[in-house]
C-alpha cells in the first residue's frame, strides 16, 4: 500500500506554481441577495491544510464553491496550479457535508465514480481499480467494497466520500463542513483520518468549518472569515505538532485568541450595521 | 398451513364473485335463455379448451407484443420528454398546458384519425397504446427529476461531468424508481386500451377474439377470453410491481 509518490516534476517548477491555488481580490454576489463576500485573496501552498473558519452566513461555503470552480466570481481571479480556473479542476476534489453517495452503486463503484469521465485524465481500468482499492483501504473500508450505501453508517458513508476524493489523487481537496453531520466521536476519528490521508496523498486541503476545535486540530493555517459582505478578518499559522490533543496548552491559547477575534468581529459588526447604511464598495473602504 | 393463511380471504373473495356470477346467469337465463351460455361452468370449460389451443396463444402473443411495442414507444418518447420537462423550466412551461390537455382526451378518440393517417393494421394500435401510456411515464419521469438529490448534481458538476454523463450516470439511474412506477401505471392503461384498440381493423389479438367470439355466437369463448384478459392483466401488473420492488430493495 504505497501512497502516491510526490510528483518531482511538478515540485521543481517556478515559484508561481508553488501555490496550488491562488485567488486575488474575489467578490461574489448572488443575483437575488446582496454581496456575499468581497475583496478576498487567498493562497494555498502545496500540501498545506487551510481552514476557513466562520459563522453561518459569512459566505465561507460560497467562497469554497468559487475557489473550486463551481461558481464564477463577480470580480477577481482564481488560478489553480498557475492556470486560470473556470471549471472544477481534475486535480481537485470535493467533499461535502452530505456524502452524496449514489445509492444504486456499491461502495467500490461510488469511490471510483467520475474517474472515467471525459474531462478527467485518462487512466487504465487496472490502474483505476488499484487507486480506488488503495483509497478505500486508507479510509478503513477494505473488505466493504461490495456493500451498498444503505448498509453503511453516517461515518462510513463520509469515508467513502473521502475515498472518492482521494482516488482522484487531488492536488487540492476542498471540504465543506465534511464532518458536521457526524456525532462527536466519529467526527474526531474522521478529523484524524483526514490529516493522515492528505499527508500520505501529499494533497493540500481547504476545509470550511464553523467548528473552532476542528480548525485547530487539523489546520496548518486558519483564516477567520467574518462580516457582511464576508472578508478574511484574521489568520493564524498553526505550528502545533500532531497529534494536537497532546498539546493542550498551545491549543487552548490559540482557541482563546480565535474566540477573542470572533467576539471582536461580532461586537464590531453590530454598531456599524446599525449606524451606517449597507456597506458598499467605495474607494475609501479600507 | 400458516403459509396459506394470507390467501384465504382473497380466494374467498374470488369464490364469492364466481358464485354471484353463477346465480346471476341462472336468474337471468330464466327470462333470456341465451344468457345460460355465459354461466361460469360453460366459461371455465371454454377457458380450459382455449388455454390448450395454440391459436389462442397466438392471439395472446400478438396482444402482448402490442403491449410491448406500445410501452417501448411510450418509454422512448416519455422518458426524454420527462427529463426535458424536469430540467428546463421553459420547456416545462411551454408544454405543461398542452400535455395536460392531451392527457385528458381518451386515446380512443384518436382512432379514426389514426386509421386514416397510419392505415389499417398494427400501426394505429401501436399509436393508440403509446399515446395512452406516454403520460404516466412522462409525468413520473419529470417528477423524478424534480425530486433528484441536488447534491448528486453538484457532485457531477464537481467531477466535470459532461451533460451526457450527468444524464446517463446520475439523472437516469436516479429516477429509475419513478420511471418504473410510471411503467406500472402505463401497463395498466395499455392493457385497458388494448382490447378496444384491437377491435379496429386487425385480425388477431384478444380484442379481435372477443368480437370474433361474438360473431361466432361462441359466448362461452367470449367469457373465457374475458377471464384470460383479466388473468394476464393481473400477471402483468404483478410483474411490474415485482420489478419496482426489486429495484427498491437493491437500493
Q: Assess whether A147 and A224 both reside in one domain.
A: no
**Residue by residue, what is the 3-state secondary structure of chain B?**
CHHHHHHHHHHHHHHHHHHHHHHHHHHHHHHCHHHHHHCHHHHHHHHHHHHCCHHHHHHHHHHHHHHHHHHHHHHHHHHHHHHHHHHCHHHHHHHHHHHHHHHCCCHHHHHHHHHHHHCCCHHHHHHHHHHHHHHHHHHHHHHHHHCCCHHHHHHHHHCCCCHHHHHHHHHHHHCHHHHHHHHHHHHHHHHHHHHHHCCCCCCCCHHHHHHHHHHCCCHHHHHHHHHHHHHHHHHHHHHHHHHHHHHHHHC
Q: Which residue, among A106, A114, A170, A175, would best test binding to B if mutated, counting the most B CBs under 10 Å from its CB?
A: A114
Do the chains contact at B162 and A119, CB–CB below 8 Å?
A: yes
pLDDT at A268: 56
For residue A63, the domain's CATH number is: 3.40.50.300
- Nearest CB among A87, A100, A103 relative to B155 is that of A100
Place of cell 382526451: B105
Q: For residue B29, is it within any domain?
A: no
Q: What is the CA radius of gyration of chain A?
A: 19
Q: Assess whether A67 and A136 both reside in one domain.
A: no
For residue B230, the domain's CATH number is: 1.10.3720.10
For residue A158, what is the DSSP state? H
Q: For residue A280, is it within any domain?
A: no
Q: For residue B20, is it within any domain?
A: no
Q: Assess whether A159 and A176 both reside in one domain.
A: no
**3-state class (DSSP) for residue A130:** helix
Q: Which residues of A touch B161 (CB under 8 A)?
A: 114, 117, 119
Give how many domains chain A has, as a whole number. 2
Q: Assess whether A128 and A151 both reside in one domain.
A: yes
State which of A169, A204, A219 marks the end of a domain: A169
pLDDT at B3: 72
Q: For residue A119, is it within any domain?
A: yes
In degrees and rounded to multiples of 5, residue B140 shows phi and psi of -65, -40
Do the chains contact at A98 and B158, CB–CB below 8 Å?
A: no
Q: Assess whether A144 and A42 both reside in one domain.
A: no
CA dihedral sign of residues A66, A69, A72, A73: positive
Helix or strand (DSSP H, E) at A235: strand A231-237
Helix or strand (DSSP H, E) at A236: strand A231-237
Q: For residue B86, is it within any domain?
A: yes
Query: Which three three-digit cell numbers place residue A67?
Result: 475557489
Give the C-alpha separation, A149 to A110, whole Å.
Answer: 9
ipTM value for the complex: 0.79
- Nearest CB among B152, B160, B251 relative to A119 is that of B160
Q: Can you give the pTM of this predicted structure?
A: 0.78
Q: Assess whether A68 and A25 both reside in one domain.
A: yes
Give the C-alpha separation, A160 to B40, whole Å.
Answer: 61
pLDDT digits (tens, 9 = 90+) for A136-156: 999 999 999 999 999 999 889
Q: Assess whether A202 and A67 both reside in one domain.
A: yes
Q: For residue B34, is it within any domain?
A: no
Q: Assess whether A36 and A49 both reside in one domain.
A: yes
Q: For residue A282, is it within any domain?
A: no
Distance in Å, alpha carbon of B155 to nearest chain A alpha carbon = 8
Q: For residue A98, is it within any domain?
A: no
Q: For residue B25, is it within any domain?
A: no
Place of cell 493542550: A248
List the end-to-end C-alpha distance of chain B, in Å, as a whole number.
33
Would the pLDDT of A279 be above 50? no
Give how many domains chain B has, as a whole number. 1
Give the C-alpha separation, A46 to A21, whole Å.
Answer: 9
Do the chains contact at A98 and B151, CB–CB below 8 Å?
A: yes
Q: Contact A72/A229 with Cβ under 8 angstroms? A: no
Question: In this complex, is the C-beta atom of A100 within 8 Å of any C-beta atom belonging to chain B?
Answer: yes
Q: For residue B16, is it within any domain?
A: no
Q: For residue B75, is it within any domain?
A: yes
Do the chains contact at A102 and B250, CB–CB below 8 Å?
A: no
Question: In this complex, is the C-beta atom of A68 within 8 Å of any C-beta atom belonging to chain B?
Answer: yes
Distance in Å, alpha carbon of A175 to nearest chain B alpha carbon = 12
Q: Is the peptide bond before A243 cis (omega within 30 degrees of 0)?
A: yes
State which of A169, A202, A222 marks the end of a domain: A169
For residue A17, what is the DSSP state? G
Across the A:B interface, residue pairs with CB atoms under 8 Å apart total 54
pLDDT per residue rounded down to tens, chain B (251 residues): 567 778 889 899 999 999 999 999 889 888 888 888 888 888 899 999 998 999 999 999 999 999 999 999 999 999 999 999 988 889 999 998 999 899 888 888 988 898 889 988 889 999 999 999 999 999 999 999 999 999 999 999 999 888 889 999 999 999 998 999 999 999 999 999 999 998 877 889 999 999 999 999 889 999 999 999 999 999 999 998 898 888 776 65
Q: Assess whether A80 and A192 both reside in one domain.
A: yes
Give the C-alpha separation, B219 to B29, whole Å.
Answer: 13
Q: Assess whether A175 and A263 both reside in one domain.
A: yes
What residues make up the domain containing B179? 39-250
Question: In this complex, is the C-beta atom of B169 within 8 Å of any C-beta atom belonging to chain A?
Answer: yes
State which of A116, A144, A169 marks the end of a domain: A169
Half-sphere exposure of A162 (CA within 13 A, CB side): 29
pLDDT digits (tens, 9 = 90+) for A183-241: 989 898 899 999 999 999 999 999 999 999 999 999 999 999 988 788 888 889 998 88
Q: Assess whether A208 and A257 both reside in one domain.
A: yes
pLDDT at A15: 45
Alpha carbon A83 to its chain's center = 19
Give the C-alpha separation, B37 to B25, whole Å.
Answer: 8
What residues make up the domain containing A141? 104-169
Give the C-alpha separation, A46 to A67, whole Å.
Answer: 15
Q: Assess whether A61 and A175 both reside in one domain.
A: yes
pLDDT at B201: 78
pLDDT digits (tens, 9 = 90+) for A81-115: 888 888 899 889 999 989 999 999 999 999 999 89
Give the C-alpha separation, A22 to B113, whole Å.
Answer: 66
Distance in Å, alpha carbon of B242 to nearest chain A alpha carbon = 17
Do the chains contact at A120 and B157, CB–CB below 8 Å?
A: no
**3-state class (DSSP) for residue A71:** coil
Distance in Å, alpha carbon of A246 to nearest chain B alpha carbon = 36
Do the chains contact at A94 and B160, CB–CB below 8 Å?
A: no
Q: For residue B23, is it within any domain?
A: no
Q: Is the peptide bond before A82 cis (omega within 30 degrees of 0)?
A: no
Q: For residue A49, is it within any domain?
A: yes
Q: For residue A3, is it within any domain?
A: no
Amino acid at each position: 500500500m504505497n501512497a502516491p509518490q510526490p510528483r518531482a516534476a511538478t515540485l521543481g517548477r517556478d515559484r508561481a506554481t508553488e501555490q496550488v491555488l491562488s485567488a486575488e481580490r474575489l467578490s461574489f454576489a448572488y443575483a437575488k441577495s446582496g454581496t456575499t463576500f468581497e475583496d478576498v485573496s487567498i493562497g494555498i501552498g502545496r500540501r498545506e491544510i487551510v481552514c476557513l473558519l466562520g459563522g453561518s452566513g459569512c459566505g465561507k461555503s460560497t467562497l469554497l464553491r468559487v475557489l473550486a470552480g463551481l461558481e464564477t466570481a463577480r470580480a477577481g481571479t482564481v488560478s489553480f496550479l498557475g492556470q486560470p480556473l473556470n471549471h472544477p479542476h481534475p486535480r481537485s476534489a470535493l467533499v461535502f457535508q452530505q456524502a452524496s453517495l449514489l445509492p444504486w452503486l456499491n461502495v467500490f463503484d461510488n469511490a471510483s465514480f467520475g474517474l472515467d469521465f471525459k474531462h478527467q485524465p485518462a487512466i487504465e481500468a487496472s490502474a483505476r481499480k488499484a487507486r480506488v482499492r488503495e483509497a478505500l483501504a486508507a479510509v478503513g473500508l477494505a473488505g466493504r467494497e461490495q456493500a451498498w450505501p444503505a448498509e453503511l453508517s453516517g461515518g462510513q458513508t463520509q469515508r467513502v466520500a473521502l475515498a472518492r476524493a482521494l482516488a482522484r489523487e487531488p492536488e487540492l481537496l476542498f471540504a465543506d463542513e465534511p464532518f458536521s453531520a457526524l456525532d462527536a466521536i466519529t467526527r474526531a476519528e474522521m478529523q484524524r483520518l483526514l490529516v493522515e490521508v492528505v499527508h500520505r496523498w501529499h494533497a493540500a486541503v481547504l476545509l470550511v468549518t464553523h467548528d473552532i476545535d476542528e480548525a485547530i486540530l487539523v489546520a496548518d493555517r486558519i483564516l477567520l472569515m467574518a462580516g457582511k459582505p464576508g472578508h478574511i478578518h484574521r489568520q493564524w499559522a498553526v505550528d502545533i505538532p500532531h497529534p494536537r490533543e497532546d498539546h493542550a496548552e498551545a491549543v487552548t491559547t490559540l482557541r482563546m485568541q480565535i474566540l477573542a477575534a470572533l467576539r471582536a468581529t461580532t461586537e464590531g459588526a453590530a454598531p456599524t450595521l446599525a449606524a451606517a447604511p449597507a456597506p458598499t464598495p467605495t474607494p475609501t473602504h479600507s | 398451513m400458516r403459509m396459506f393463511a394470507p390467501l384465504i380471504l382473497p380466494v374467498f373473495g374470488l369464490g364469492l364473485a364466481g358464485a354471484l356470477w353463477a346465480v346471476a346467469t341462472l336468474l337471468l337465463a330464466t327470462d333470456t335463455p341465451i344468457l345460460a351460455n355465459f354461466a361460469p361452468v360453460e366459461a371455465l370449460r371454454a377457458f380450459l379448451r382455449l388455454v390448450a389451443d395454440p391459436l389462442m396463444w397466438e392471439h395472446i402473443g400478438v396482444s402482448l407484443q402490442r403491449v410491448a411495442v406500445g410501452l417501448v414507444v411510450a418509454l422512448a418518447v416519455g422518458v426524454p420528454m420527462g427529463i426535458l420537462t424536469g430540467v428546463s423550466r421553459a420547456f416545462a412551461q411551454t408544454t405543461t398546458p398542452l400535455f395536460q390537455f392531451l392527457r385528458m382526451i381518451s386515446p380512443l378518440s384518436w382512432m379514426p384519425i389514426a386509421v386514416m393517417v397510419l392505415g389499417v393494421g398494427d400501426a394505429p394500435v401501436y399509436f393508440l397504446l403509446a399515446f395512452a401510456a406516454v403520460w404516466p411515464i412522462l409525468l413520473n419521469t419529470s417528477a423524478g427529476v424534480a425530486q433528484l438529490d441536488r447534491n448528486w448534481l453538484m457532485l457531477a458538476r464537481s467531477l466535470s461531468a459532461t451533460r451526457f454523463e450527468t444524464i446517463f450516470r446520475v439523472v437516469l439511474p436516479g429516477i429509475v424508481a419513478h420511471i418504473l412506477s410510471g411503467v406500472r401505471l402505463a401497463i395498466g392503461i395499455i392493457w385497458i386500451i388494448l382490447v378496444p384498440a384491437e377491435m379496429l381493423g386487425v385480425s388477431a389479438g384478444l380484442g379481435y377474439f372477443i368480437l370474433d367470439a361474438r360473431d361466432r355466437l361462441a359466448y362461452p369463448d367470449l367469457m373465457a377470453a374475458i377471464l384470460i384478459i383479466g388473468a394476464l392483466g393481473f400477471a402483468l401488473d404483478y410483474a411490474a410491481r415485482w420489478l419496482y420492488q426489486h429495484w427498491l430493495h437493491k437500493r
